[in-house]
């Protein structure tokens, strides 16, 4: 890998979360919840995770010229993230409305705002920043054509491209050949591969289909079960770390950020997945999105205690 720098291009949202005993069904009002507000968005969550876990991180998103956008950028700066390339839009900053139930399951509605104003032309203006990175980490809360352009520039420059295809959507076939590592969950991998993923065997089959489409490596995350790591050298299942989960909101984002850091440090794909598994297991024991992301010291301490 030519550089340890991690560039995250993606979404920034303000999360408004209500925690209650149950998730509301359509047409139902659930009373008695507790409200909190914090910074979120898959791109931002992954950037914060990568920074707290030891990465050299630059984050590029698009926010509105409003209080939500200003507060978000200020928060990223306080984390020590390079925010010098963040873009501004005439659209309002993104917001997410999150419901979390007593068993830590969640449902999320997003008003994307400025995130959907992030264009391929914006990415072309970031070409020099992309070419200087060692790893480019992408998600799908900004337009797919923008993600495609970023992946293309990075791949053609020898940058290691990681795509977390969430939320799930139809991807152009062209993008697969630009992806060094794809990190979908069970649902996303099943939709992309046309295979119902429910266990290790079906996960491995789905990964083989995705690699056949041109992806370099695939890690399918399977929640409390663990993750299936697949490369040209073979496949290995990494079991989860059993913990009392209370909120899964940013677990996947923590995993992706942690994995990027480990790879930037030269760890193997397997060892990076093990590191990410520990980091995400800590996140689910805490409430909130970015608030739940552990530090490198916390993660290393858990790893050391298990040796």
Where in the sequence numbering do the catalytic residues fall? 253
DSSP conformation class of 293: P
Taking each continuous run of H as one helix and of E as one strand, the counts in the chain are 10, 14
Measured distance CA(144)–CA(147) in Å, rounded: 5
Measured distance CA(100)–CA(117) in Å, rounded: 29
Query: Smallest Cα–Cα separation from 163: which of 134, 145, 183, 177?
Result: 183
Which residues, in sequence order, are bridge partners of residue 110?
A: 96
238 Cα distance to chain centroid: 19
Q: Which residue is listed with tokens 């352009």?
A: 149
Two structure tokens written together for 229: 């790591």
Asked if 285 and 244 count as a contact pair (C-beta separation under 8 A), the reply is yes
Q: Which residue is listed with tokens 């996140």?
A: 283
Q: Which are the contacts of 261, defined by CB distance < 8 A and separation ≥ 6?
A: 6, 50, 53, 54, 55, 275, 296
- List for the chain the helix, strand, coil content (%; round to 5): 40, 25, 35
Burial of 35 (0-12, 13-18, 19+ CB in 10 A): exposed
């Amino acid at each position: 890998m030519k550089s340890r720098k991690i560039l995250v291009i993606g979404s920034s949202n303000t999360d408004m979360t209500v925690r209650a005993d149950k998730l509301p069904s359509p047409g139902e009002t659930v009373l008695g919840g507790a409200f909190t507000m914090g910074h979120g968005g898959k791109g931002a969550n992954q950037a914060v995770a990568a920074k707290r876990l030891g990465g050299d991180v630059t984050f590029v998103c698009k926010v509105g010229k409003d209080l939500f956008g200003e507060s978000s950028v200020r928060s990223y700066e306080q984390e020590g993230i390079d925010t010098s390339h963040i873009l501004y839009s005439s659209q309002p900053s993104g917001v997410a409305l999150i419901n979390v139930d007593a068993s830590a399951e969640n449902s999320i509605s997003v008003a994307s705002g400025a995130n959907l104003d992030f264009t391929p032309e914006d990415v072309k203006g970031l070409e020099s920043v992309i070419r200087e990175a060692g790893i480019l980490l992408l998600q799908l809360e900004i337009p797919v054509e923008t993600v495609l352009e970023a992946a293309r520039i990075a791949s053609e420059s020898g940058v290691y491209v990681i795509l977390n295809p969430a939320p799930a959507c139809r991807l152009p076939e062209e993008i697969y050949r630009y992806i060094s590592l794809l990190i979908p969950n069970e649902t996303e991998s099943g939709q992309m591969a046309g295979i119902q993923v429910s266990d290790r065997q079906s996960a491995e089959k789905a990964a083989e289909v995705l690699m056949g489409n041109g992806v370099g490596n695939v890690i399918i995350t399977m929640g409390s079960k663990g993750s299936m790591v697949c490369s040209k050298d073979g496949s290995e299942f990494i079991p989860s770390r059993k913990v009392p989960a209370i909120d899964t909101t940013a677990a996947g984002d923590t995993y992706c950020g942690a994995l990027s850091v480990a790879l930037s440090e030269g760890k193997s794909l397997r060892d990076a997945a093990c590191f990410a598994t520990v980091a995400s297991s800590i996140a689910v024991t805490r409430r909130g999105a970015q608030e739940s992301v552990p530090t490198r010291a916390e993660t290393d301490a858990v790893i050391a205690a298990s040796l």
